[in-house]
Amino acid sequence: MEKNQYLIFILPILVSSFAVVSIVTSACVPASAQNITTGTDVRSNYSFIEKWGSFGTGPGQFNRPHDIAFDSMGNVYVSDRDNNRIQKFTHNGTFIKTWGSKGDKNGQLSIPYSIAIDDLDNIYVADRENSRIQKFDTNGTFLAKYGTDGKLDGQFHRPEDVRIEPRTGDIYVTDTYNNRIERFDKNFMFITKWGSMGTADGQFKLPHAIGFDSKGNVYVDELERPGVQIFDKDGKFLRKWGTVGKADGQFSLPQEHLWIDSNDHVYIVDGADNPRIQIFDLNGRFLGKVGTGCLLSTGEGCVDPDGPGPLALGDGQFSKPEHVTIDSEGNMYVVDRGNHRIQVFAPMDDAIVNIK
């Protein structure tokens, strides 16, 4: 079924009680405050539309999936972490192919984490336990590898994210267990690095994810510190935001991955204790949220029977979500790791309305 047809079919659902909707007042002011005379109300609203995947080793099944990325044709690539492989799908989850197996040889993987795809559709995989980045074509053919275990320039120790800055093609890697960021050119030649272990500005407690705003600034989130630190492309510290907690705009630890869309909205995956996607502007102003934890569960995952159903049956609920990615149509793809599946949400609106 084509995506546009599917969206038309679910239109009545979008306005039902099953929709995942978040409407947030400016600066997180409580609705009871009556002294607001001017400001804005930002709507960041999404509704569940589809899901795919289940636990297993077969085609289209997952064992703790981690990241998701899109090539120029709209195909979807998922790092199937504990199956040590990459799976390729159509945009609506139809299985195409898979590659990879556990090991340290070329094309083999040991806990593949994040995926990045450049403008030539080359696929870069953070091969965490092998402390390297591997490069493939869209058919899974091995092309190159970069890095070895160590602390020298161009080396890594258990890297967890690889991202490509779209304007320059430069490649950034969270060298997580060396507590630093490394930057390379599009040929993977080392340019610079920054960071060390610590809690001061510009230091890290296990850097986990990278994103870029429209000016090329670099946003880094960390497993063991809430929110983000923001740097220029060369690693100069600019600012930071985020606090620990479960209220809107706060974060549970360990914190997971982030994504920045073409409107400079920052999407951050909250920790396992408060599983949800939170949406912010570049200054850390809370805009909205999507998803909840399991209302019903067995073991690690939500109760989730096949077929569509209300939120009480698992759609729009997360167990240990890991990654969030926005496609070219604005749809939100969430790697629902604990449920071994991908969930997809469609934007209902994204408007800024004046408050009188």
Laid out side by side, the sheet with 123-127 consists of: 112-117, 123-127, 132-136, 142-146
Cα–Cα dist 326/328, whole Å: 7
Whole-number pLDDT of residue 314: 81
Residue 165 to residues 115, 153, 189, 225: CA-CA distances in angstroms? 13, 20, 15, 24
- Specify the pLDDT at position 97: 97
Q: What is the DSSP string of 55-88?
A: BSSSTT-BSSEEEEEE-TT--EEEEEGGGTEEEE
Closest CA to 268 of 232, 230, 212, 227: 227
Q: What pLDDT is attached to residue 34?
A: 25
pLDDT for 2: 37
Residue 298 pLDDT: 64
* Predicted pLDDT of residue 271: 86
Give the number of other CB atoms < 10 A from CB of residue 328. 10
Residue written as token pair 């510290």: 237
pTM of the model: 0.85
Residue with tokens 């949220």: 289
Q: Are 162 and 116 in contact (CB under 8 A)?
A: yes
Query: Tens-digit pLDDT profile for the chain (356 aa)?
Result: 434 433 333 333 333 333 444 434 333 333 222 222 222 334 458 999 999 999 999 999 999 999 999 999 999 999 999 999 999 999 999 999 999 999 999 999 999 999 999 999 999 999 999 999 999 999 999 999 999 999 999 999 999 999 999 999 999 999 999 999 999 999 999 999 999 999 999 999 999 999 999 999 999 999 999 999 999 999 999 999 999 999 999 999 999 999 999 999 999 999 888 999 999 999 999 999 999 888 776 666 777 555 554 445 688 899 999 999 999 999 999 999 989 999 999 998 654 433 23
Contact present, 195 and 236 (Cβ < 8 Å)? no
What is the structure's pLDDT at 9?
A: 34
pLDDT at site 139: 96
